Chain A
Amino acid sequence: AQSVAQPEDQVNVAEGNPLTVKCTYSVSGNPYLFWYVQYPNRGLQFLLKYITGDNLVKGSYGFEAEFNKSQTSFHLKKPSALVSDSALYFCAVRELNDYKLSFGAGTTVTVRA
C-alpha cells in the first residue's frame, strides 16, 4: 500500500524567505511523486512531478522539489516566498502500475508581508 505523510499542518514564513514543505512517502517499488497546490474553494493545480532522472525537479511558479530515495522524502522548496504562495499544498504518490494517487493531509502555507 502507498501512503504519504506531510508532518506539518502549517508553515509560516516571511515574504522573501525560503519556503520548505516536507513530504515523506511509502510505496512498493519506484515512486511517482507529485506536488499540487490548492487555493480556497478551488481544485488542485499541478506544480511538479518526479518520475525518474534528476533528483532535483523544477516546476511552476519557481517551485522545486528534491527526491531523496534513502530518506523516502520529496520536500517542496522555493528560494524566495511570495505572499501569493499562501495556499494549501498537497504531496501525492502513486505506484508504477496504479494510476490512483494517494494524497498527504496537506500543509497550509502562510507567507506574511
Chain B
Amino acid sequence: GAVVSQHPSRVICKSGTSVKIECRSLDFQATTMFWYRQFPKQSLMLMATSNEGSKATYEQGVEKDKFLINHASLTLSTLTVTSAHPEDSSFYICSARAGDGNIQYFGAGTRLSVL
C-alpha cells in the first residue's frame, strides 16, 4: 500500500529556534499533501494544503509566516515551525493524497516539544 514517511518522529527544541519536519510519499507521487495539528485526545485540525510547485493554502487562523510549507517535489513536503514557542508544542501529522485522489495516507506524526 501507499506509504508516507514523516521525519523526525520527535523533536525537542529551545524557544526561538526553528524546526523543520519532512513528509515523504515513498511509493507514490503526491500532488497534494496536507498538514494537521493534533492536541492531546483531540481530533486533527487541518493547518494547510500543500500542492506541488505552488504556494500552500492555509486554513483560517493559521499563521503562514509561522508555519512555512514547501512542496518542492511530488514526493516531499516540508513544514518549518519558525521561532518556535512552547505553545507550538503539539503533534504534527502530514498526509498525502494518493493517485485515485480519494484516500489520504498519513505519516506517523512528529511530536514537537518546545522548552
- Interface size of B by CB at 8 A reads 24
Expressed in whole angstroms, the Cα–Cα distance for A51 and B55 within the complex equals 29
A100 engages B93 (CB within 8 Å): no
Q: How many A-B residue pairs have CB under 8 A?
A: 51
Interface size of A in residues (CB-CB distance below 8 Å): 20
CB distance from B60 to the nearest CB of A (A): 12
Other-chain contact of A101, B6, B41, B104, B107 (Cβ < 8 Å): B104
Q: Do residues B97 and A103 form an inter-chain contact, with CB atoms below 8 A?
A: no
Residues in B whose Cβ lies below 8 Å from that of A41: 91, 109, 111
**In the complex, A29→B66 CA distance in Å?**
35
The CA-CA distance from A36 to B4 in the complex, in Å, is 15
| Closest Cβ neighbor of A102 among chain B residues | B46
* Selected interface stretch from A13-21, A42-50, A65-73: A42-50
